[in-house]
Structure 1
Amino acid sequence: MILAIQGASELGLLYAVMALGVYITYRILDFPDLTVDGSFTTGGAIAAIMITHGYDSWIATIAAFAAGLAAGACTGLLHTKGKINGLLSGILMMIALYSINLRILGKPNIGFSRIDTMFTTISEDKYIYMTVLILAALIIKLLLDAFLHTDIGLALRATGDNARMIRSLGANTDNTTIVGVSLSNGLVAVSGALIAQQSSFADINMGVGMIVLGLASVIIGEAIFGNKTVFRATLAVVLGAILYRIIYALALRIEWLETSDMKLITALIVIIALLLPTIQRALKQRGLARKRASELLTASSKGGSA
């Protein structure tokens, strides 16, 4: 059980980078970007191909980030300049990336277990491995926090809150949208590259369902840990990704569940995550109603006794 939770936490920290990318589009920009499923595979495919061709794993990861930025920029351009619906823009780019990723890989999957990656030297010691993953996730989270407090980051947040108002102040919302979607998919591609290196394997279908995982991480994290500030919200996303993987790992240990049931489990986790805020609001409103009724009853009893 402990080993399963530890392994799930390690994976959660790697997927947290992807969840932070989804947070940018889903929460900050309010943009339904489905490019994620494709750009995640793009990151993994580029990392795998470059590493197998002798490139350093760090260079491969940076190249994956650049490819993710390009994929996100294409989606943003389709939406802002092409005037295509945001959801449809993401779907079109996701479909296009499937063929592009297959071209990059050259075949449906590729393994490179005998080649060194950035995890090779640290994976032997579990404590060092976990420490490095935690530090890496926190550094990326803090860099994102810092970016969101810059002028561009503030414009990005304002675009998501009220695009019409920010346009009236002279800001170019098209540019901020493109920047936001690009950065989002850049982080998603980095996560794909890290997952590919961690497993020493890249597959054309490795990105299927990533948008669901990302949304679940964001929603679970915000529902449990809150999102009142940017620092707290991004931390909640990281913790949500870890918690999601732990729940998923525990579900796998249920004997009567089969591998084919995992998609159902994923859907149920997301449904519960989506219902959590509604349930919390209902309980809060019920508590306030009871408190108000109690105060009215107390006031009326005092008035009657007087």
Structure 2
Amino acid sequence: MITAVELGLIYAIMALGVYLTFKILDFPDLTVDGSFTTGAAVAAVSIINGVPPLLATAMAFGAGLAAGVVTGLLHTKGRINGLLAGILTMIALYSINLRIMGKANLPLLREETLITPLREAGLLGGIVSILLFLLVALVVKLVLDWFLHTDVGLAMQATGDNEQMIRSFGVSTDNQKILGLALSNGLVATCGAFIAQYQGFADIGMGIGLILAGLASVIIGQAIFGSRLIWIATLAVVLGSVLYRVVIQLALQAGLQPNDMKLISAVLVVLALVLPQWSGFKKIAGRMGTRKAAAKGAEV
């Protein structure tokens, strides 16, 4: 279960990237499946060739930025549908990732990575590692919160809410989309770099279906914890990522096979989307809200 929490906190970086496109820009970006592996591949190859792990992770972020820019240019300048633009980039990245790696799998077990000190000290799989991964996830969350409250971030939010309105104020919505896609895939690639170092290998298929996990984290988190304010929404994404991994772990312990993970993810997303619209769920949520309000009134 501790491993599930650790993975949930690491994957929260990816989920925050998905949140940026899915919720802020209202853009269905499937580049994620490719850029995640790109980050892992760049970090793995760099570390094997003697690049310091921190710099290798930063290089992975840069590779993710480039992937997002390509999708953004295809959509804004090439006038290609956003969904199709993401699919095209994702398909192209599969071949590019193979070129980067040189083979389908690159082991990192004998290499010095960001996770090596924790593993050698016996701290991996304990409270210390959870706190460290939580700190990293919160730092990324806080930086994203800060960015979304800058002038550029507010313009990006407005682009997702009402593109025609913000364009009338002289804001280039094309630039906002390209920037948002770049930052999103940069975060996804960074997560891929962390996962490769955590697991001890980079694999060409490690990003397949990852967009479903990202959407599950965003939707589950916001369905349970809310999304009215940016800082609450991003915190909900982090918590949703952890909850998603814990549910997956519990399902596997209950007897389901690893091959069923995608099915479990799909079911979780469907439940998170359908339950809030169910009248019975709304009544329960309303009662819980009334009780919380009454409790606060009593405290005052």
**When the two structures are superposed, what TM-score results if normalisation uses the length of structure 2?**
0.91
Find the residue that maps to 2:170 and give its secondary structure. coil
Shift of 1:286: 11
Find the residue that maps to 1:121 and give its secondary structure. helix
Q: Alpha carbon RMSD of aligned pairs, Å? A: 1.6
Find the residue that maps to 1:249 and give its secondary structure. helix
Partner of 1:42: 38
Partner of 1:225: 225
Is the alpha carbon distance of 1:83 and 1:115 closer, same or farther for their aligned partners in structure 2, counting shifts above 3 Å?
A: same
Is the alpha carbon distance of 1:202 and 1:272 closer, same or farther for their aligned partners in structure 2, counting shifts above 3 Å?
A: same
CA–CA distance in 2 between the matches of 1:58 and 1:286? 44
CA–CA distance in 1 between the matches of 2:86 and 2:197? 26
Partner of 1:262: 261
Partner of 1:82: 78
Q: Does 1:170 align with 2:166?
A: no
Q: 2:93 aligns with which of 93, 97, 104?
A: 97
Partner of 1:58: 54
Deviations 1:76-131 (A, max 9, x none): 01000110000000000000000000000100111110111111112322232111
CA–CA distance in 2 between the matches of 1:113 and 1:244? 27
Is the alpha carbon distance of 1:151 and 1:260 closer, same or farther for their aligned partners in structure 2, counting shifts above 3 Å?
A: same
Identity of aligned residues (%): 59
With 162-171 and 277-286 compared, the bigger mean Cα shift is at 277-286
CA–CA distance in 1 between the matches of 2:285 and 2:46? 57
Q: 1:114 aligns with which of 104, 110, 114?
A: 110
Is the alpha carbon distance of 1:287 and 1:54 closer, same or farther for their aligned partners in structure 2, counting shifts above 3 Å?
A: closer
Superposed, which structure 2 residues align to 1:225-244 within 5 Å? 225-244=225-244
Partner of 1:299: none
Q: Is the Cα contact below 8 Å between 2:275 and 2:281 reproduced in 1?
A: no
How many corresponding residue pairs? 283
Partner of 2:291: none
Partner of 1:133: 133
Shift of 1:259: 3.0
Superposed, which structure 2 residues align to 1:15-34 within 5 Å? 15-34=11-30
Shift of 1:287: 6.7
Partner of 1:301: none
CA–CA distance in 1 between the matches of 2:117 and 2:279? 45
CA–CA distance in 2 between the matches of 1:137 and 1:39? 19
Partner of 2:298: none
Deviations 1:164-183 (A, max 9, x none): 00001111100001000100
Gaps in structure 2 of 5+ consecutive residues: 288-300
CA–CA distance in 1 between the matches of 2:161 and 2:25? 7
Deviations 1:2-51 (A, max 9, x none): xxx21100000000000000000000000010000000000000011011
Q: Which letter does structure 2 place at the counterpart of 1:271?
A: V
Q: Which letter does structure 1 place at the counterpart of 2:204?
A: I
Find the residue that maps to 1:202 and give its secondary structure. strand
Structure 1 consecutive aligned stretches of length 4 or more whose deviation exceeds 2 Å: 257-263, 279-288
Shift of 1:280: 6.4
With 122-131 and 184-193 compared, the bigger mean Cα shift is at 122-131
Q: Does 1:276 align with 2:272?
A: no
Find the residue that maps to 2:202 and give its secondary structure. strand
**When the two structures are superposed, what TM-score results if normalisation uses the length of structure 1?**
0.89
Q: Is the Cα contact below 8 Å between 2:276 and 2:282 reproduced in 1?
A: no
Find the residue that maps to 2:106 and give its secondary structure. strand
CA–CA distance in 2 between the matches of 1:29 and 1:208? 23
CA–CA distance in 2 between the matches of 1:27 and 1:11? 23
Shift of 1:189: 0.2
CA–CA distance in 1 between the matches of 2:74 and 2:205? 24
